[in-house]
Amino acid sequence: MAPRVRVGVVGIGRGLWLGERAAAGFELVAVCDTDEAGLRDVGRRLGVATYTEYSRFLEHDMDAVLLANNFHEHAPFAIKALAADKHVMSETAACHTLAEAVALIEAVEASDRVYLFAENYPYMAFNQEMRRRYRAGDIGEFRYGEGEYVHPDPAAVKLARSRGYDHWRNWIPATYYCTHSVGPVMFITGTRPEKVNGFVIPFDANDPTMAHSAKIQDTAATIICRMSGGAVVKSLHGGLRGHGNYVRIHGNRGLMENGRHGDKQRLRIWREPWETPVGESSEIVYRPTFPHYHEEATAAGHGGADFFTLRAFLDAIRTGEPPEIDVYLGVDMSIVGIQAWRSVLADSAPVEVPDLRDRALRVRYADDHWSPDPARSMPGQPPSSVLGRFEPGAEARALADKVWSDA
Ligand SMILES: NC(=O)c1ccc[n+]([C@@H]2O[C@H](COP(=O)([O-])OP(=O)(O)OC[C@H]3O[C@@H](n4cnc5c(N)ncnc54)[C@H](O)[C@@H]3O)[C@@H](O)[C@H]2O)c1
């Protein structure tokens, strides 16, 4: 039997959740977080080594790290882990600026360790099945797609998840959390966005889920992407009402989409009657199973998708073959949100999404540190909302005080 991969986790929220489930093939040996009290509990409960300092954590004897620290801080953490000879699985987003994108790609290229971008939504059963069918030519060539990740919550739930006015969930612009919506379409069709036009549904002061939270960004974002190969994609994500995730792929011979009502795991395939072979049905609706590991995957999180990111990481480490969602695809999925924010602030003008596989293009972006991160404040940095800079209101502050002190 192959030896287990000794893994350390950074971040005791999502990270620990993943680390504890990484059973087959992995052994959780260390956990790192700056939250000392939380870390003490984790250490007692799991009996693993704990660290508050990332550099000390990287000295731990282990093979790999799962990065689930702050959304906007993954690239520098990944670069340090690769330099310490660890395999890296990085949560979303891969990078927070174009300069980080270049630095991350170059660090992965200089290393012999695995880097996997843990975008999990493409691995949901209906997305894997759409990819299989797309590759089999069932709907012809890709022409138009939609990816949606809509996730509203009451203000108190938002506040409990994002403690502190400077928590990333309170200020990342609405376009940035785009990998769950645009990622599946890219994965299914093998295309990448070349240009984006970004739009936002502005911060809604009449929506208590926004007005009573600590958010200073917009309610939701739509990104229109012009893809390699000429297709157009609409990505929608954010806190609108209507919780769900949805993917729709139009080819020039048919359509595939997952369910929008009832069992949303179902897949619908539509071919026009005149193009449907005799004896077959124009419309097929079914609930696909996973192509492999169906039982293990069904028990995992996010509709089974988390099983596949962990499994892909293990396979890449064991075989030495790069994972499918590698650094290039991870960066592509992530920088869509950054470039779309530039577009939003330029009245939705088109903005290039550079293909940083091209070394010549990297030169142009290697010093691009454009970011709304309050900790990177300097002249020329953008606001978090299309409405400009503002502070949470009195009701939001009162609720935040209550939720954060209860927690
Ligand atoms: N793929 C998915 O389905 C999915 C789901 C949830 C979250 N995520 C991603 O996982 C990441 C974490 O999400 P979360 O909800 O757990 O966020 P979170 O903000 O609750 O947790 C981040 C953790 O990192 C810790 N941290 C921050 N700076 C640190 C440092 N310098 N050293 C060590 N630890 C540090 C924080 O104390 C916190 O415990 C985010 O990037 C998010 O986008 C992905």
Pocket of ligand 1 contains residue 237 by CB under 6 Å = no
Please name the residue ranges forming H helices in 288-326: 294-298, 305-319
**pLDDT at residue number 298:** 83
Pocket of ligand 1 contains residue 32 by CB under 6 Å = yes
What is the rounded distance in angstroms from the CA atom of residue 182 to the CA atom of residue 234? 8
- Check if the beta carbon of residue 147 is closer than 8 Å to that of residue 235: yes
φ and ψ at residue 137, rounded to 5 degrees: 85, 15
Name beta bridge partners: 259.
none
Pocket of ligand 1 contains residue 78 by CB under 6 Å = no
Pocket of ligand 1 contains residue 124 by CB under 6 Å = no
Please name the residue ranges forming H helices in 47-97: 54-57, 74-83
pLDDT per residue as tens digits for the range 291-342: 888 888 887 777 788 999 999 999 999 999 999 999 999 999 999 999 999 9
Closest CA to ligand 1's atom 7: 14
**pLDDT at residue number 24:** 76
Question: What is the CA(163)–ligand 1 centre distance, in A?
Answer: 12
Pocket of ligand 1 contains residue 54 by CB under 6 Å = yes
CA 269 to chain centre: 26
pLDDT per residue as tens digits for the range 248-275: 999 999 999 999 999 999 999 999 999 9
What is the rounded distance in angstroms from the CA atom of residue 203 to the CA atom of residue 254? 37
| Residue 69 Cα: closest atom of ligand 1 | 24
Decide: helix, strand or coil at residue 138.
Answer: coil
Q: What is the DSSP string of 253-286?
A: TEEEEE-SSSSTT-EEEE--GGGSPTTS-SEEEE
DSSP 8-state symbol, 173: -
- Whether residue 23 is predicted with pLDDT greater than 70 in this model: the reply is no
**pLDDT at residue number 300:** 76
What is the rounded distance in angstroms from the CA atom of residue 84 to the CA atom of residue 37? 27
Pocket of ligand 1 contains residue 14 by CB under 6 Å = yes
CA neighbor of 198 nearest in space, from 349, 326, 369: 349
Whole-Å CA distances, 344 to 92, 235, 339, 372, 386: 21, 14, 9, 13, 7
- Check if the beta carbon of residue 33 is closer than 8 Å to that of residue 8: no
**pLDDT at residue number 203:** 98
What is the rounded distance in angstroms from the CA atom of residue 121 to the CA atom of residue 308? 10
| pTM exceeding 0.85 | yes
- Whether residue 383 is predicted with pLDDT greater than 70 in this model: the reply is yes
Decide: helix, strand or coil at residue 200.
Answer: strand
Q: Indicate the fold that domain 122-303+316-376 takes in CATH.
A: Dihydrodipicolinate Reductase; domain 2 (3.30.360)
Q: For the chain, give every domain's residue range.
A: 5-117, 122-303+316-376
Please name the residue ranges forming H helices in 155-266: 155-161, 168-171, 179-189, 208-211
Percentage of the chain lying above the pLDDT 70 cut? 100
What is the rounded distance in angstroms from the CA atom of residue 367 to the CA atom of residue 379? 15
- Is the model more confident about 174 or about 21? 174
The yes-or-no answer to whether 5-117 and 122-303+316-376 have a common fold is no
Pocket of ligand 1 contains residue 373 by CB under 6 Å = no
pLDDT per residue as tens digits for the range 198-249: 999 999 999 999 999 999 999 999 999 999 999 999 999 999 999 999 999 9
- Check if the beta carbon of residue 180 is closer than 8 Å to that of residue 123: no
Q: What is the CA radius of gyration of the chain?
A: 21
Question: What is the CA(351)–ligand 1 centre distance, in A?
Answer: 29
**pLDDT at residue number 292:** 87
Pocket of ligand 1 contains residue 92 by CB under 6 Å = yes
Mean pLDDT of 85-112: 98
pLDDT per residue as tens digits for the range 51-90: 999 999 999 999 999 999 999 999 999 999 999 999 999 9
What is the rounded distance in angstroms from the CA atom of residue 106 to the CA atom of residue 101? 9
Closest CA to ligand 1's atom 13: 14
Question: How is domain 5-117 classified at the architecture level of CATH?
Answer: 3-Layer(aba) Sandwich (3.40)
Residues, the chain: 407
**pLDDT at residue number 393:** 96
Q: Which residue has the tokens 């936002």?
A: 200
Whole-Å CA distances, 16 to 12, 85, 279: 5, 22, 51
What is the rounded distance in angstroms from the CA atom of residue 245 to the CA atom of residue 287? 15
Decide: helix, strand or coil at residue 10.
Answer: strand
